[in-house]
Amino acid sequence: MENQHALHQRAPRNRTLTVSPEEEPIYRERLLNITGPVTSADIEGRIINGDIEQIAGFLPEAFIDLLIADPPYNLTKNFNGREFRERSDGEYAEYLESWFVKLLRLLKKTASIYVCCDWKSSPAVYQVLNRYAIIRNRITWQREKGRGAGANWKNCVEDIWFATPGREYYFNTGAVMVRRKVIAPYRAGGIPKGWEETEEGNFRLTHPSNFWDDISVPYWSMPENTDHPTQKPEKLMAKLILASSAPGDFVFDPFLGSGTTSVTAKKLGRRYSGVEVNTEYCIWAEKRLRRAEEDRSIQGYRDGIFWERNSAPRARARKADGGPPDKRGGTEGGNIQE
């Protein structure tokens, strides 16, 4: 398959992933096609090119520690030739249920489940999860970008529902602390109270909440960016993976897209696998996985800490010297990690 997107002329600072015609067969060769039962060892570290609804029955029982599902939202959207059509809320709930029930068998009893959606798809996701699992929370993340509308509010947040099949589950708050700038640096007896004084400024570590406003969507100046129309940021997946899985746990994504879940899981030392129906997206994901062997950095996450947008020292330094522009021509989301 030719990578149409790779043939486009890119701006000099555009770091969006491309796959050359020479590379393409190498990555295609690595893709897994499943036509019968497989073990977790067969699929570990692999990208399965197929339709989750057709292959879920071939996947092994109780292998998933963490399920991250980012399905098509209830919007009309073209995923590289395969269009998902907007439907009624009831029909969307039926669609969600049709694949979700097939995944239940694959989950460990102690597994965690995250399902991504927008405001419109959110009630259906709640309805379906509530039928089969214990709902634990709803994360809202501010994705910054969004189209303005003439007679409506701009849509710039998304939800991620968190649920578990059972009462016992893994959760590591300490792994997802957020480092924020201190606005009112209070001292007791001259000593910083609950914050740290550093050469780069004053910071405090805060507990993560279910509102995430510290994430930039992938921009063309970021090395993680691909041409996938709904790519999630690695930083977002990193939060889910670090909070809800231990090193070595198995992370599975049935709607892998450009591979963000698997790439981030690999960078964080988890086992992983995922399914994607579109072969070109799979090939992009393979290239990202290959790159992750040399570069384990995750933009916005460093030294075990999630940095507020642009608060990491290197990001500020780059901004001062006119660092790389993002898709909107600003510097936000510049290269904190390179």
Ligand X SMILES: C[S@@+](CC[C@H](N)C(=O)[O-])C[C@H]1O[C@@H](n2cnc3c(N)ncnc32)[C@H](O)[C@@H]1O
Q: Which residues bind ligand X (CB under 6 A)?
A: 51-53, 70-72, 79, 228, 230-232, 255, 257-258, 260, 275-278, 281
Nearest approach, Cβ of residue 102 and ligand X (Å): 11
Nearest to 263 by CA among 223, 230, 210, 227: 223
Shortest-Cβ-distance residue relative to ligand X: 257
Of the two residues 14 and 80, which places its CB atom closer to ligand X in the complex?
A: 80
Nearest to 32 by CA among 262, 331, 237, 212: 262
CA distance 331 to 270: 32
Alpha helices, DSSP H, located in the chain: 4-7, 24-30, 40-43, 52-55, 89-104, 122-132, 234-244, 260-267, 279-292, 313-320
Nearest approach, Cβ of residue 233 and ligand X (Å): 8
- Measured CA to CA in angstroms, residue 39 lies from 159, 276, 281 at distances of 32, 18, 24
Residue recorded with tokens 């608060």: 311
Q: Are 192 and 202 in contact (CB under 8 A)?
A: yes
Of the two residues 179 and 326, which places its CB atom closer to ligand X in the complex?
A: 326
Provide Rg for the chain, Cα atoms.
20
Q: Are 222 and 235 in contact (CB under 8 A)?
A: no
Nearest approach, Cβ of residue 234 and ligand X (Å): 9
Of the two residues 126 and 284, which places its CB atom closer to ligand X in the complex?
A: 284
CA distance 299 to 335: 7
Of the two residues 231 and 244, which places its CB atom closer to ligand X in the complex?
A: 231
3-state secondary structure of 41: helix
Of the two residues 234 and 331, which places its CB atom closer to ligand X in the complex?
A: 234
Q: Are 312 and 206 in contact (CB under 8 A)?
A: no
Both ends of the chain: CA-CA distance in Å?
Answer: 30
Nearest approach, Cβ of residue 75 and ligand X (Å): 10
Residue recorded with tokens 């390179």: 338
Nearest approach, Cβ of residue 293 and ligand X (Å): 19
Nearest approach, Cβ of residue 132 and ligand X (Å): 19
Of the two residues 245 and 278, which places its CB atom closer to ligand X in the complex?
A: 278
Of the two residues 112 and 260, which places its CB atom closer to ligand X in the complex?
A: 260
Of the two residues 208 and 257, which places its CB atom closer to ligand X in the complex?
A: 257
Nearest approach, Cβ of residue 260 and ligand X (Å): 3
CA distance 68 to 87: 23
Nearest approach, Cβ of residue 275 and ligand X (Å): 5
